[in-house]
Chain A
Amino acid sequence: MSLLAAIRPDDWNIALFVHILGAMTLVGSIALVIAYIASDNLRLGFRTLLIVVIPSWIVMRVAAQWIASKEHVDDIDPTPSWVDIGYSTSEGSFLLLLIATVCAGFAARRARGGGLRTATLALLAISLVAYVVAIWAMSTKPT
């Protein structure tokens, strides 16, 4: 399956490019938010979540659907497990990112973030682990 992916049709490339670019920006910006929040810059962390992390998740997910429709992977019965893993990690992580954004927003209003700061860091760390699993699924394409 991976070897087939190496010789995919050219008209899939733009969707794949946007998908990977969105995913890379997403992972990079989550790391940036973790760095901000770990150094108690909660306001900047919150703004980065709103302005970069959430939009890059949307770009990544929309492009994922775009390439899935080009590859017709959703029409395969049963759906390949790597596609299911991709959908479940991305959608599950979006919920975590939304909760992290709310936590970071409330933490930024306080002088000290306390538990909300820790919760934000934990949610972002779980999201990063989920993305490593997604990258593994996308690259190895387990059936």
Chain B
Amino acid sequence: MYDTLLFLHLIAAFLLAVTVVMYSAVALGAATTGRAMFVADRCWDVGGLGTIVLGVWLVLNLDQYDITDGWIIGAIVLWFVATGLGQTVQRRLAAGETTAIATLHWLRTLTVLGLLVLMVWKPGA
């Protein structure tokens, strides 16, 4: 059970990486298409839901971790921050606003990097 959950949790995390890389290309000024952005946004939808649901399920499945552990609470907070930033970028792009899009995207990228740091180091675990 643990192995399957971890595998699916990682696949979901890789989907988040697809979104971050695709939006990074836009933030760096590369040409893009509506279809590519659609794929990037759906990857975040599926990957975001997958990481949070499977991540919490993993914690509940393992005796050595608790949902109230600092690094897990930190990860959940970062997940909400990253999702909020992503939705703001998505909304602004859809409305044709370009103000602070790149800044918001790089903030989301840093937040996702922070999530990866927490997942690898598990401070306090």
Contacts and interface: CB of A to CB of B under 8 A. Distances in A.
B121 A13 contact: yes
A55 interface: no
Interface string A19-57: 011011101110110011011010010001000100000
B31 A139 contact: no
A17 B2 CA distance: 21
Given A6-B62, A17-B120, A44-B31, A32 B17 contact: no
A39 B34 CA distance: 10
B7 interface: yes
A27 B17 contact: yes
Contacts of A141: 3
Chain B interface size band reads: 20 to 34
A3 B22 contact: no
Interface residues of A, number: 34
Contacts, number: 82
Interface string A108-138: 0000000000000000000000011001101
A37 to B, nearest CB: 11
B64 A28 contact: no
A59 interface: no
A108 to B, nearest CB: 14
Contacts of B62: 3, 6
A79 interface: no
B33 interface: yes
A39 B35 contact: yes
A35 B120 contact: no
B17 A24 contact: yes
Given A3-B2, A13-B121, A135-B10, A35 B36 contact: yes
A39 B25 CA distance: 15
Given A6-B62, A28-B18, A135-B14, A48 B117 contact: no
Given A3-B62, A39-B35, 9 more contacts: A13-B120, A17-B117, A24-B21, A25-B17, A29-B21, A35-B35, A35-B39, A139-B3, A139-B7
